[in-house]
Amino acid sequence: MVGLLTKDNWFPPVNQANEDGLLAAGGDLSPKRLLLAYQSGIFPWYEEGQPILWWSPNPRMVLFPDKLKVSKSLQKTIRKKKFTVTFNKDFYSVIEQCAKAKRNGQTGTWITPEMQQAYRQLFEMEHVLSVEVWQEEKLVGGLYGVNLPDVGVYCGESMFSLVSDASKTGLYFLVEKLKKENYKLIDCQVYTPHLASLGAEKIPRITFVEYLKNKK
């Protein structure tokens, strides 16, 4: 049974999620609740017109930084320095572009105006890390996620690409940054063939939650 959240800042234990990973509905998108969610292995995902839905799937899709698969074509792109990559330089534009991006099998976007505002608040509180990919001073790709530096976990949320290899280049430089800072993993949430092609893999939810409990 899906938990119904009140104004109080709490979540049911993640092992109470249903088969699809749906754990709870309702509540709000306050920075305090969002941080508690990510620290507990939970994330919001819903479409406009739905209540706020909170998920904790089992298994969990993650990318261990050392296991990123870099194709020969991407290696060539990086060597040629086709793009310039920055961090936290233009988060607002990144999330706007992610909201506009067309997704296979999706008619709308889960990055609603309400969701954008919530992550802007988190960004202002320095809990979000964005990656911007530029070509000739134009933003052509990027990604963003909730950053949990104390435990060495980066919770990837969304990415976009306007030219070939732009978002993959952003991910490559993000991974290089996280490796230098001794991060354990990037949370990718749920399986997609694209994520698997990049080296992401499924781990049990209980294992993922353990990573969140231990400081790096």
Which domains does the chain show, CATH number per domain?
3-57 (3.30.70.3550), 61-213 (3.40.630.70)
- In the predicted structure, residue 29 carries a pLDDT above the cut 80: yes
Q: Residue 60's pLDDT band (boundaries 50, 70, 90)? A: very high
Lowest mean pLDDT among 81-95, 101-115, 168-182: 101-115
- In the predicted structure, residue 35 carries a pLDDT above the cut 90: yes
Tell how many helices (H) and how many strands (E) occur in the chain: 7, 11
Q: What is the pLDDT of residue 6?
A: 85
Q: What is the pLDDT of residue 110?
A: 82
Mean pLDDT of the 100-111 span:
68
- In the predicted structure, residue 107 carries a pLDDT above the cut 80: no
pLDDT digits (tens, 9 = 90+) for 125-155: 999 999 999 999 999 999 999 999 999 999 9
Query: Could you tell me which residues are beta bridge partners of residue 85?
Result: 133
Mean pLDDT of the 78-92 span:
97
Task: At 70, list the tokens.
Answer: 């870099």
Q: What is the pLDDT of residue 3?
A: 84
Treating both helix axes as pointing N-terminal to C-terminal, what angle do 113-124 and 91-100 enclose, rounded to 10 degrees?
160
Over pLDDT 90: what percentage of the chain? Answer: 91
- In the predicted structure, residue 106 carries a pLDDT above the cut 60: no
* DSSP code of residue 197: H
Token pair 């976007």 is at which residue?
A: 109
Mean pLDDT of the 55-71 span:
98
Q: What is the pLDDT of residue 197?
A: 95
Q: What is the pLDDT of residue 119?
A: 97
Q: Which amino acid is at 181?
A: E
Q: How far apart are CA 180 and CA 25, in angstroms?
A: 37
Q: What is the pLDDT of residue 26?
A: 96
pLDDT, mean over the chain: 95
Q: Residue 104's pLDDT band (boundaries 50, 70, 90)? A: low
Mean pLDDT of the 22-48 span:
96
Task: At 204, list the tokens.
Answer: 């049990």
Q: What is the pLDDT of residue 105?
A: 52
